[in-house]
Chain A
């Protein structure tokens, strides 16, 4: 009986996961093998959608979309974790009002509705003279720039990366608090300066939350497209189109559900590979066994 009890408690969640995640995923595999369109009907076409995807002749933008996806995920991740960790470390040494002040300031992006956040970036980098950046450039006597068409990928990386910072900062900040002060004090007594304490004591002890955030945000950035859609719509041309946005556009804007589903299968595969690689890289199996 004791052995069954945990499974009984897990059952409702397993049902939810099966109905809302597993079955749609299986159905998605089926759709990817059809030419389903807006009538929600389609005939079986085998691997035709995948053939189109990997044919330069039929889909010449696919290599660019994949490259954009890699750049977008990697640099958004670096920005989110790097800045999140940096702010967490800086505010760790503060006490009272200023610590809360800086943390609250950095939390504002997270509380901004997605559409507002997206349009803030659009307004900031509007290519006309009414864009905030161009207003600043003009006030400094410099010429205006076509930000959104010259640096579209950089801008969407900034918009997405910065949005991840508050969460990363909170997790890492809370994790820093769990480090016994005696360890840090001992290192200081031994003559370690701030950088040495940070790089040899604090960061190694943040391995578990850093591993969690890396996996979490890798998957999040792989599937995230709403801000890209609002800010650049994936353009100009395909310069800021990622795989997730491409799949969305194909499936729901062109109602090419078969091809859109095939693209999302590739996205799922990339996500799985990412998780497996990161899992091994961070020895997460061993860490979770230890219960660290």
Chain B
């Protein structure tokens, strides 16, 4: 009996003196298979920490669900206490999660020196009421694509095109784009001057921003209905339709048809997209005769630029730390490792998203990506996509209003009245100014 007790004692002492790794759980989203590096980089980060003597294991789930499903699962898992420690998300949802208390501020957990290397716009995307809630890893950059071949047919040389439509949109006004579109249409070179997205999204708000519109009151965090800028936005869309520069049924178009029109040069400007579509046109055979486009074709015939103003928006994706975690310091260490420049560079190249750190531009592999380097010039002048817990409602309202205006069911004034009425009913504490 004595021997047994002694053995048990030795066993217990051994157990108590030995250290066990801390297990963290993380979930990242695709939705498709391409952004797998969002998950892989967390695993590599944990490996690197173990090499540094920090005993941490991480179990990362890579979700291929759509965002709506992914968020429903998060809400339910959070509610039942089964939620992961790290959750990857788009910047648009950050204010909502922050207000709900589902994620924690990272300001005191992430090294200040590390944050200095990030583009301010990337951090601003993840900031709500002055606090940083997510560490960004990539940026979706909204931009304008234009057809160089059409402009050449209008008599412009390549040098003139680059000077007239610089990548950072410096000195370019919306009226110049309208003028170019009108002339291209009059010359019979294009069917449409502009095409925009057929679903709610950043494009519609960039137009509001272009007219000086505001979205969120920084002091109070309340959503703003900027009536003056919104009315100008609505009148702009009405003007485009009335002048045959934009299809009146634009909101009924399918994405496939839109891409087809862009790659076949049937529109001068594609104003509803993001820089990643450059890759999409090389992967999906939208062109009737050429199929998938080569990069050479794109460089020759397509140009990219920021929205005039410049008012290009960026949406960030990044890692949040869930408030139910018991290991917030360790989770933060994992995040710091996961945003190492070489990992982010690889992630940007794989996903074709914009970089969040300036040092990514120094990565030898990233430097070879001529297009992504160009995209980073837009990031330098970009603004964060407006963030507010109820922005998705505002987003839908604006889209519904634009749809009504373009199809002739609403005048711009009626559309504004509709937005104000609905916003007052649906959005808490909205400011109408």
Which residue of B72, B199, B252 contacts A127 across the interface (Cβ within 8 Å)?
A: B252
| Total of A-B residue pairs, C-beta within 8 Å | 97
Cβ-defined contact, A148 with B422, below 8 A: no
Does any Cβ of B come within 8 Å of A205's Cβ? no
Contact mask for chain A residues 22-53; partner B; CB cutoff 8 A; 1 contact, 0 none? 00000000000000011111000000000010
* Measured CA separation A265–B251 after assembly (Å): 30
Cβ-defined contact, B252 with A235, below 8 A: yes
* Measured CA separation A123–B255 after assembly (Å): 11
Which residue of A128, A150, A254, A259 contacts B396 across the interface (Cβ within 8 Å)?
A: A254
Which B residues are CB-close (under 8 A) to A38? Answer: 71, 75, 96, 100
Which A residues are CB-close (under 8 A) to B75? Answer: 38-40
Chain B interface secondary structure, helix, strand, loop or mixed? helix
Residues B242-281 near A (CB distance < 8 A): 247-249, 251-254, 257, 260-261
Does any Cβ of B come within 8 Å of A149's Cβ? yes
* Measured CA separation A279–B110 after assembly (Å): 66
Cβ-defined contact, B253 with A128, below 8 A: yes
Which residue of B96, B390, B407 contacts A149 across the interface (Cβ within 8 Å)?
A: B407
* Measured CA separation A126–B259 after assembly (Å): 14
Which A residues are CB-close (under 8 A) to B254? Answer: 122-123, 126
Chain A interface secondary structure, helix, strand, loop or mixed? loop
A131 CB, min distance to chain B CBs, angstroms:
8
Cβ-defined contact, A149 with B396, below 8 A: no
Counting chain A residues whose Cβ lies within 8 A of the other chain, the interface size class is: 35 or more
Does any Cβ of A come within 8 Å of B61's Cβ? no
Which residue of A40, A128, A237 contacts B76 across the interface (Cβ within 8 Å)?
A: A40
Does any Cβ of A come within 8 Å of B157's Cβ? no
Chain B residue with Cβ nearest A122: B254
* Measured CA separation A65–B183 after assembly (Å): 41
Chain A residue with Cβ nearest B405: A237
* Residue among B100, B252, B421 facing the most chain A CB atoms (10 A cut-off): B252
B190 CB, min distance to chain A CBs, angstroms:
14
Which B residues are CB-close (under 8 A) to A58? Answer: 421-422, 424-425
* Measured CA separation A59–B257 after assembly (Å): 33
Does any Cβ of A come within 8 Å of B14's Cβ? no
Which B residues are CB-close (under 8 A) to A128? Answer: 247, 253, 257, 260-261
Residues A252-292 near B (CB distance < 8 A): 252-256, 259
Which A residues are CB-close (under 8 A) to B422? Answer: 58-61
Which A residues are CB-close (under 8 A) to B71? Answer: 38, 255
* Measured CA separation A253–B72 after assembly (Å): 10
Does any Cβ of B come within 8 Å of A68's Cβ? no
* Residue among A38, A59, A60 facing the most chain B CB atoms (10 A cut-off): A38
Which residue of A40, A131, A148, A237 contacts B400 across the interface (Cβ within 8 Å)?
A: A237
Does any Cβ of B come within 8 Å of A223's Cβ? no
Which residue of B247, B396, B425 contacts A253 across the interface (Cβ within 8 Å)?
A: B396
* Measured CA separation A41–B102 after assembly (Å): 12
Which residue of B261, B393, B410 contacts A237 across the interface (Cβ within 8 Å)?
A: B410
Which A residues are CB-close (under 8 A) to B260? Answer: 128, 130
Does any Cβ of B come within 8 Å of A75's Cβ? no
B389 CB, min distance to chain A CBs, angstroms:
8
Which A residues are CB-close (under 8 A) to B392? Answer: 253-255
Which A residues are CB-close (under 8 A) to B424? Answer: 58
Cβ-defined contact, A59 with B199, below 8 A: no
Does any Cβ of A come within 8 Å of B426's Cβ? yes
Known: A58-B421, A122-B254, A236-B404. A127 touches B68 (CB 8 A): no
10 contacts across the A-B interface (CB closer than 8 A): A38-B71, A58-B424, A59-B425, A126-B253, A146-B247, A148-B249, A148-B252, A235-B251, A254-B426, A255-B392
* 4 cross-chain pairs, A with B, having the tightest CB-CB distances, nearest first: A58-B425, A39-B100, A146-B249, A149-B249
Please give the residue numbers on chain B whose beta carbons come within 8 Å of chain A beta carbons, in ascending order.
68, 71-72, 75-76, 79, 96, 100-102, 199, 247-249, 251-254, 257, 260-261, 390, 392-393, 396, 400, 403-404, 406-407, 409-410, 418, 421-422, 424-426
